[in-house]
């Protein structure tokens, strides 16, 4: 295990450009939707900042998010429009894809750096080859690393930070330790929960290092500087002093409002989260985790993160994404040092069989599963007949202006969806009885439309006599699961089905099952 990072003579620079090309292809091939935060917590605020229109979710009104992550994409939106003259809607959609592909490639490259540093003393070329093979063959990396989640950037920064981290506490390269601290602090700005990883490693370093006082003071200085800079960035963005980390803790711990977005059993990460992160790599990773036991600091760190996250009620498997490089290190170790009872040939045969499984899963989820909600935005973006759009869907089921880029739809009631604001600043009793707008609609769609929409076939003059929450748009978008309700309700009206897009064969949310359907008026 090397005490410092020195890879210029070991890892060719062309490897990074190879990863960039691979991730650009990965990004261009991805035509599907994963989760709303990919757009609503990154691209939508960035688009709103640069172009002056769009929708900001409640987190941005409450100051729960740092502006640092959206500002990355805002900078490239601005460059594309003001420096390179790229302003067409289709081009604007591709700008963040290119940016995120490069970020993902950095993660791939530094995973190889980390692997060579930890395992490459005796057989560097083998480690480099298999590390690259594992990171590009990861189904979860293929699916998520090129998406504009803060989790994706968090994973990349964690990987880079780990590559510079002083794994040997007795031989600290102070320049590289400082760099690791800068990167670690930045990762905590983007995702405060990432602090758990660095607290574990930092305390371990201080316990074992003979230079613990210097290491501790340097850590405090770097962390203080990074968070001071971020405070200035957020102050400029919000126009007032905000502390997103404090808001984050208040929301998740004091008010427990994260439960509003779902809860999972304690074993969720063990039996769903980690298997989904690893797919075909799972058997090799489990073998190595079991074999290394508590002797391995990496194994202990993985267990620590999984145990802490498992104690929280609100769980999403992308929350574990920052430890995927650590899990991949275990995959690599199991392959490099197979168990004695497994012949090397048999190990490779099993590995490549499971590798093919990863590729199949990646292609399916990147090109087919939940592609309709992206295809429909392209249809709306490039259709001149679209004068207004309404989405009768669970909230944030599609991207917004980052994928429409149509200021003409920013007129009142021209563009709407069913919201899902959480019960902020409500009593416990009020929170228990609370239903957001989306839930109210799905509880009784027909009654909801009768109350909140103008009478069907009414004229504009009739509608102006009473204020309604929503107006009937020129294009109405909904999932096939709602069709048995919508179709009879709109019968004998001017609405007709004008387009339909395949979205999914299955979905964990029954409201999102089936095609995406567009009705035109």
CB 93 within 8 A of CB 307: no
Report the predicted TM-score, pTM, of the whole model to 2 decimal places: 0.94
Confidence of residue 426 (pLDDT cuts 50, 70, 90): confident
CB contact set of 222 (below 8 Å; sequence gap of 6+): 178, 181, 182, 185
pLDDT over 60 at 214, yes or no: yes
Q: Over 80: is that where the pLDDT of 167 sits? A: yes
The percent of residues above 70 in pLDDT, for the chain, comes to 92
Q: Is position 240 within any domain?
A: yes
Q: Is the pLDDT of residue 245 over 70?
A: yes
Q: Are residues 31 and 54 in the same domain?
A: yes
Average pLDDT, the chain: 91
Q: Does residue 296 sit in the same domain as residue 416?
A: no
Note whether 414 and 485 are same-domain residues.
yes
Instruction: Tell which of 368, 388, 404 closes a domain.
Output: 368
Structural domain contains residue 461: no
pLDDT at residue 463, as a whole number: 53
Q: Are residues 326 and 410 in the same domain?
A: no
Does 410 lie in the same domain as 358? no
Total number of domains in the chain: 2
How many angstroms separate the CA atoms of 484 and 133, rounded? 47
Q: Give mean pLDDT, residues 366-392.
A: 96
pLDDT surpasses 90 at 11: no
Is residue 132 domain-shared with residue 257, that is, in the same domain?
yes
The answer to whether the beta carbons of residues 501 and 371 sit under 8 Å apart is yes
Say what the pLDDT of residue 391 is.
98
The DSSP bridge pattern shows strands 475-479 and 516-520 to be antiparallel
Position 462 confidence tier, pLDDT thresholds 50, 70, 90: low
Per-residue pLDDT at 4: 62
Range of the domain at 492: 371-456+467-520
Lowest mean pLDDT: which of 107-111, 220-224, 262-266, 512-516? Answer: 262-266
Q: Is 218 exposed, middle or buried (0-12, 13-18, 19+ CB in 10 A)?
A: middle
| Matching residue, tokens 């392209």 | 378
436 in helix, strand or coil?
Answer: coil
Q: Which two tokens stand for residue 411?
A: 């007129």
Please state, in angstroms and rounded to a whole number, the distance separating the CA atoms of residues 286 and 19: 27
Are 359 and 439 part of one and the same domain?
no
Co-location of 214 and 129 in the same domain:
yes
Predicted local distance difference test score (pLDDT) of residue 342: 53
């Amino acid at each position: 295990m090397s005490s410092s990072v020195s890879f210029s003579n070991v890892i060719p620079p062309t490897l990074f450009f190879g990863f960039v090309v691979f991730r650009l292809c990965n990004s261009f091939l991805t035509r599907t939707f994963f989760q709303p935060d990919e757009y609503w917590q990154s691209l939508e605020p960035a688009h709103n900042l640069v172009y002056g229109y769009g929708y900001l979710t409640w987190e941005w009104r409450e100051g729960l998010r740092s502006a640092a992550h959206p500002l990355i994409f805002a900078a490239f939106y601005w460059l594309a429009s003001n420096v390179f003259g790229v302003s067409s809607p289709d081009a604007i959609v591709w700008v963040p894809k290119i940016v995120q592909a490069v970020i993902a490639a950095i993660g791939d490259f530094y995973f190889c750096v980390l692997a060579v540093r930890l395992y490459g003393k005796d057989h560097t070329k083998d480690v480099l080859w298999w590390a690259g093979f594992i990171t590009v063959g990861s189904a979860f990396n293929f699916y998520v690393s090129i998406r504009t989640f803060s989790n994706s950037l968090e994973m990349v920064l964690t990987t880079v930070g780990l590559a510079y981290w002083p794994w040997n506490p007795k031989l600290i390269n102070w320049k590289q330790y400082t760099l690791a601290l800068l990167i670690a602090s930045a990762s905590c700005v983007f995702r405060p929960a990432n602090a758990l990883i660095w607290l574990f490693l930092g305390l371990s370093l201080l316990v074992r290092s003979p230079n613990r006082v210097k290491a501790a003071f340097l850590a405090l200085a770097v962390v203080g500087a990074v968070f001071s800079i971020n405070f200035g960035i957020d102050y400029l963005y919000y126009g007032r002093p905000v502390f997103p980390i404090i808001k984050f803790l208040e929301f998740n711990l004091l008010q427990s409002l994260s439960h509003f977005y779902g809860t999972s059993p304690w074993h969720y990460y063990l039996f769903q989260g980690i298997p989904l992160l690893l797919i075909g790599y799972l058997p090799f990773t489990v073998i190595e985790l079991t074999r290394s036991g508590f002797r391995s600091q990496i194994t202990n760190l993985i267990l620590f993160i999984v145990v802490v996250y498992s104690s929280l009620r609100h769980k999403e498997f992308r929350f574990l994404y920052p430890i995927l490089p650590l899990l991949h290190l275990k995959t690599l170790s199991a392959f490099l040092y197979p168990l004695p009872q497994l012949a090397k040939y048999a190990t490779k045969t099993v590995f490549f069989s499971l590798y093919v499984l990863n590729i199949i899963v990646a292609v399916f989820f990147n090109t087919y599963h939940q592609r309709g909600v992206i295809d429909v935005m392209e249809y709306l973006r490039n259709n001149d007949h679209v004068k207004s759009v309404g989405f009768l869907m669970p909230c944030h089921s599609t991207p917004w202006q980052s994928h429409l880029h149509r200021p003409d739809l920013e007129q009142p009631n021209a563009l709407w969806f069913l919201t899902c604001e959480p019960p902020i600043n409500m009593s416990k009793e009020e929170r228990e009885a609370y239903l957001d707008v989306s839930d109210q609609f799905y509880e009784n769609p027909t009654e909801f439309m009768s109350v909140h929409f103008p009478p069907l076939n009414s004229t504009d003059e009739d509608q102006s006599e009473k204020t309604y929450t929503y107006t009937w748009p020129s294009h109405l978008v909904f999932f096939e699961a709602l069709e048995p309700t919508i179709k009879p309700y709109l019968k004998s009206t001017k609405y007709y089905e004008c387009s339909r897009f395949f979205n999914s064969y299955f979905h964990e949310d029954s409201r999102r099952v089936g095609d995406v359907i567009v009705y035109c008026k």
